[in-house]
Amino acid sequence: MSNDQYVAGSCNIGRGEIRRRQLVAVIGTVLSLMSLAGFISTSAEPSVRLGIFIPLSVASIGWVQSYRKFCLAYGFMGVLNFGKLGNISKVQDKASLAADRKTAFSILGQSLAIAAVITLAVYLLPLS
């Protein structure tokens, strides 16, 4: 699939926007790893470790969006961008808007499921 053309429900961002999501994903991953290191070094209680869900969510949403070349927020708002960052265009037809929203929900669900599974693994780590 080309990175420079809109496909309803499949691709709504171009290279610049994809790079932006990759940066967010890297930041979320670094924060998650730092949290994990803190939990391990302090033998944190399992309930405290549940807090890793937030940075894991940021990371997984960023990675899934960049991989799928689809911004879930843009999908919900009915916009797209293949040009200069911040230069968004409106999706014109209702069928495309519906396809984009369906994909946005799918990406959100997939990302949160990934974050939840990893959070569960962190929660179950035998640290003490």
How do residues 31-47 score in pLDDT, each as one tens digit?
999 999 999 999 999 99
Instruction: Report yes or no on 45 lying in a domain.
Output: yes
Closest to 88 (Cα-Cα) out of 13, 3, 22: 13
Q: State residue 2's pLDDT score.
A: 52
* Residue 9 within a domain: no
In a domain, 55, yes or no: yes
In a domain, 39, yes or no: yes
**Contact, 6 vs 88, CB < 8 A?**
no
Domain presence at residue 7: no
**pLDDT at residue number 128:** 74
Q: What per-residue confidence (pLDDT) applies to 109?
A: 98
User: Does 5 reside within a domain?
Assistant: no
- Kindly state the DSSP code that residue 3 receives in the 8-state scheme: T
Distance CA 122, CA 66 (A): 25
pLDDT number for residue 126: 95
Task: Look at the chain and report how many structural domains it folds into.
Answer: 1
Kindly state whether residue 78 falls inside one of the protein's structural domains.
yes
Residue 93 lies inside a defined structural domain of this protein: yes
Residue ranges making up the domain that contains 33: 15-124
Please identify every stretch of the chain with a pLDDT value under 70, giving residue numbers as ranges: 1-3
pLDDT digit string, tens, across residues 47-61: 999 999 999 999 999
What's the pLDDT score for residue 86?
85
